[in-house]
Amino acid sequence: MPDKNIDDLSPAEQGASVSRRGFLKLAGASSLATAAGGLASASRVAAASPDGTPEQIHLTWGKEPWSEVVISWASLAPAVNPRVRFGRAGGTKTTVHGVQRTYTDGLNGEIVCTYHARLHGLNPAAGYEYEVTADNDSNAGRPFAASFQTAPHGRAAFRWTSYGDLATPNTNWVLSSPQSRFAVQAVERFQPLFHLLNGDLCYANLNPAHQPEVWRDFGNNAQTSAANRPWMPCPGNHELEFNNGEQGLDSYLARYTLPENGTRFPGRWYSFRVSSVLFVSLDADDVVYQDAAAFVAGPDPLVPAGSTGNPPIAPGTSLYVRGYSGGEQTRWLGETLREAAANKDIDWIVVQMHQDALTSSKTGNGSDKGIREAWLPLFDRYGVDLVLCGHDHDYERSYPVRGCNHHAGMDAVTGEPVETLQPRPVMTSNPPDGAFDTSQGTIHLILGGGGTSAPLDVYGLDAGTGKVQAKVFTKPNRPIAGTTANTFVRQPADALEDAIWSAQRDTGTGYGIAVFDHDPGTPGGKTTITMNYYHAPGADQTPTATYELFETITLSKARRS
């Protein structure tokens, strides 16, 4: 019998501790993985030529996307004189040396080598060619080569794309899917200036004995697009890994060089601006109530490889990092949004994060009051237009929301009233002209079907009223003891509310990609963002390269200058 992905497991299988390949155990409503027994050190380097050949090549924006790009990559063994040669087509080439960044995986002991070359002084809206190589590059005669385009400086039209929850096309891994290869190809089909990757990049922490290998599969798959245009990520719950840094983010932080945030937590959150759009990327792991990262379900401990020197991790242990920044991220967010609201050259604010403040998914995780408490008041105060999330593996769009209704939820067990801070829609139907004025409220989009998908029955209805209901986490959620000795499960969301804010749901498939086209408009007129969401019908059964238009919406508001 072939191995199953988590989405293929029945609720009964998900609720019990299920063994997979002798090292994986699943437990709880979140269907998250742990490992038991000894973890053998990875044999990847022994099985491959130990050289410095670049792989997993990807781009990110620097501080100013019109003048700075970072090229990052990895190699199977330490690279000797890692470097990038770049320049305009037919012009003089400049060499920039890569800065090495390494970490040792805290579970299998593998040393991972990554490199980062920052290209400064680029021209706006210009095309560049580049090569990545090293003295011990086995392909030095024909090094990896690609090209990219910088962002415009000042108001100009541009396109970006977005989804989350990509995974890998290698089906040896838990929650992998062949559709993730087509999802990367879909980005190239639409030729955006850049792509927003909304967390849960590869699910390495569901494969604890092989985390670096899963990251490698993810990076080499994403390279098809990410080597040609910046892929700007945010961390999700599955980027958190045992023994890999204080928040478990060493794998993520080693691979990505992201715009500085000026705090003692570099790389976790950041912002950048293209045209008159400010993009803000957040780490919602810092504020959510739900616990959805790595935990040890038991009954056995998770035993790291002896070479790591790390002790066994006891059953019931959870990598729960809520509040890790001590409020520093929220303070940074407030200041960033305040400055944007005061800047007449910024018309739009788009926020990216992984977990959801608004989702009515039945089979997914649920809405999180922690986000509603910490960040939605800031979104309201400073006029955030659009929030892009993943986490629940489906597509859902909210109406514009502003403020909240109090005590509109109910306890999921007792039915007693519960404070969920139910977001209040400012309209309950699409506007007659088809254009949403987001100066009146924020639209939330769930884009969690990059390379993963939930079962088709994805939205909850109240049996009595027929209304769409949302699950909500309203208090800290930790693993609790299960019915078998030394086993642990996760509590489901503790509350329900009517999803009066939900405007559109895709009940056909969870797989899809959102394509955004920004028109800066003219002085005294309107500026717009048009979103076309394309889904992949049938991909839940058979992976497909066919993406079809599901819906189009337009955001429209007065240009500020």
Cβ neighbours, 10 Å, residue 48: 11
CA 7 → CA 34, 251, 320, 392, 487, distances in Å? 16, 25, 23, 12, 21
Q: What is the pLDDT of residue 29?
A: 29
**How far is residue 389's CA from residue 136's CA, in Å, rounded to a whole number?**
40
A 10 A CB-CB count for 455 gives: 13
Residue with tokens 């973890």: 39
Q: What is the pLDDT of residue 487?
A: 95
Q: In what order do the strands lie in the sheet with 194-197?
A: 231-233, 194-197, 158-163, 512-519, 526-535, 548-558, 435-436
Which pLDDT does position 457 carry in this prediction? 67
Question: Quick check: helix, strand or coil at residue 556?
Answer: strand
- pLDDT of amino acid 456: 66
Distance (Å, whole) CA 133 – CA 55: 10
Location of structure tokens 């062949």? 178
Q: What is the pLDDT of residue 35?
A: 35
| 128 SS3 class | strand
Question: Could you tell me if residue 218 is left (phi over 0), alpha (psi between -120 and 50 degrees) or otherwise beta?
Answer: alpha
Nearest to 187 by CA among 437, 513, 530: 513
- The residue count of the chain comes to 561
**Each residue's pLDDT tens digit in the chain (561 positions)?**
233 333 333 322 232 222 222 223 322 223 333 333 333 333 343 334 568 999 999 999 999 999 999 999 999 999 999 999 999 999 999 999 999 999 999 999 999 999 999 999 999 999 999 999 999 999 999 999 999 999 999 999 999 999 999 999 998 999 999 999 999 999 999 999 999 999 999 999 999 999 999 999 999 999 999 999 999 999 999 999 999 999 999 999 999 999 999 999 999 999 999 999 999 999 999 999 999 888 999 999 999 999 999 999 999 999 999 999 999 999 999 999 999 999 999 999 999 999 999 999 998 999 999 999 999 999 999 999 999 999 999 999 999 999 999 999 999 999 999 999 999 999 988 898 889 999 999 999 999 999 998 776 667 766 667 788 999 999 998 889 998 999 999 889 999 999 999 999 999 999 999 999 999 999 999 999 999 999 999 999 999 999 999 999 999 999 999
Element counts in the chain: helices (H) and strands (E)? 8, 37
Work out whether the CA dihedral 217, 222, 223, 227 comes out positive or negative. Answer: negative
| DSSP run (H or E) holding 558 | strand 548-558
Contact assessment for residue 479 and residue 313, using Cβ atoms and an 8 Å cutoff: no
Question: 303: part of which helix (H) or strand (E)?
Answer: strand 302-303
Domain ranges of the chain: 6-558
Q: What would the two tokens of residue 258 be?
A: 């992201």
Q: What is the largest CA-CA distance in the chain?
A: 71
Residue 168, SS3 per DSSP? coil
6-558 to CATH, choices 3.60.15.10, 3.60.21.10, 3.40.50.740, 3.30.365.10: 3.60.21.10
pLDDT for 47 equals 38
CA-to-CA dists, residue 39 to 48, 208, 304, 553, 557, angstroms:
20, 8, 6, 49, 55
On whether the CB atoms of residues 470 and 496 are closer than 8 A, the answer is yes
The DSSP string of 366-428 is -EEHHHHHHTHHHHHHHT--EEEE-SSSSEEEEPPEEEEETT-EEETTT--EE---EEEES-S
Q: How far is CA 187 from CA 158, 196, 534, in A?
A: 14, 10, 11
- Alpha-carbon dihedral sign for residues 321, 322, 326, 331: positive
Angle at 267 between CA 179 and CA 269, to 5 degrees: 85
Q: Quote the pTM value.
A: 0.92
Distance CA(312)–CA(333), nearest Å, equals: 37
C-alpha R_g of the chain = 23
Report the SS3 class of residue 328: helix
